[in-house]
Structure 1
Amino acid sequence: MEHGLFSVPFFTHFVALILFTAVCSDMSYNIPEETKRQYVIGNIAKDLRMDVKQLSARKARIDTEDSSKRYCDINLNTGDLIVAETIDREELCGSQIPCILSYELVLENPLEVHRIILQIQDINDNAPRFPNERIIFEIRESADKGQRFRLDEAHDADIGQNAVNSYSLQNNQHFILTVHDTADGGKYAELVLEKELDREEQKEIDMILTATDGGSPQRSGTAVIHITVLDANDNVPVFSESVYKLTPEDFHKMLK
């Protein structure tokens, strides 16, 4: 008996195949980024409770779900799932969390399709960086103690604990540093004037600002804060002598 273009046995087999494929298990693995080729992620045969010889007999292969690059492969002799291409999490996912790659493990005779999920773990392979190597301010010497100056925020391509964790300022006579959290989970720092400036004493100030991440080992980046102290009318004219005495001859010389 025919139903449309399919016979009853074929249609029944087709539906059964869809249902069978749907119940195939997902296999999930965690893998640190930047692992080299041939790094063993896991063992497919062991996780499927299958004799490793069956992988070759059933022509096991890994297919991508789209046209994206394939970063893993199967060693049919051992059943190991191995790294085929070095993975750069920042290049693949940026700041996205989690960073996941999905593939299909295909087995033939009978057909089975299992989903392989690779969760790419971040490693601390990037240091914090400031948008500019020099942060420039012009501050009047009349600036009040406690005045604040927001600094450029450092950014780190890594995420979580490996992102920017703290800031520090080179010891100096005039400024201290305060650190604040941003709405998106980042951190920024402010200069706080602790001791009034005196242009006549020091016209320019250079300090090193350091951003450090929370990874292990820690990485850091620096920028130079350059401050030009602007003059304020804070001094009255002063004569070198309180009294000047002139002889008549000196007075006539001045008139000439």
Structure 2
Amino acid sequence: MAQSDVTLRARLAAAGALILAAAAGAQISGERQFPQTRSLSLLPGGGVPVSSEGVPGWEGALTLSTPIAYSLRAKEGVYVMGNTNYARWPKLFDARKGEGDSNGSLGLLFGSRMFRGNATFSWMFVDSRLKNVYHIHYSPDLKGRWRLGAGLQDVFGDSNTQIPLDLTNSASAYVVATYEFGGDAFASVGYGGQRFYGYFASASVPIAEGWKAYAEYDTFGINWGVAARLKGLVAGERPAVVTFGYLKNRWATWTIGAPF
């Protein structure tokens, strides 16, 4: 990779981190604040598609809160943010004091080589004081339409959100398989503990030029939405991606993210 490309990617990563940190300041911490692990959860494929080769961008599997098998490959990164509010129409982050009526997520994902496969490390802001939690996802080198992945959401188990089994540990392990049908259509199925609390599944398909649809079952209900490709928003050939949808078919949710 040319030195100029490395410098550009580093600048994009730094700019993304600053934007995310500024947005985090608008979100008031509280009982229903982020990380909203049942909405945008900073796992691969959430908000920004990831291909079977580990490249984030427009082509690849797309989801919201549940993982896909694919991991970002080495030297790839994504920054993404989103919000879910307890109404039918989307809104920006809730800046009121006390318990708000919306719930945001934001952070960064980085890819690396590990144990004959690819690993994704996620850095996720927890509250307006910039406390953060971490996720790790691993996908071994495999061939064919089926790929496998496994991971741990909230590695240190201290976010204490959406934890049906244990009030002191929110670390959530999972395994997942993704199948590529062709034509940029994908389906995933997996099983996890804690936040996942059972089986989950997702699918994404193109519906028009520059548009995709996704749906997922996150063990608590059905989430679905559409995604649009935004060319020219960031430098490089791969576009930013914006999504709009509903959590459990009633709470409006949006995301915006881009690779770097």
Larger radius of gyration: 1
TM-score scaled by length of structure 1: 0.23
User: Which structure's residues are more often helix, by fraction?
Assistant: 1
Higher strand share: 2
Q: TM-score, normalised by structure 2?
A: 0.22
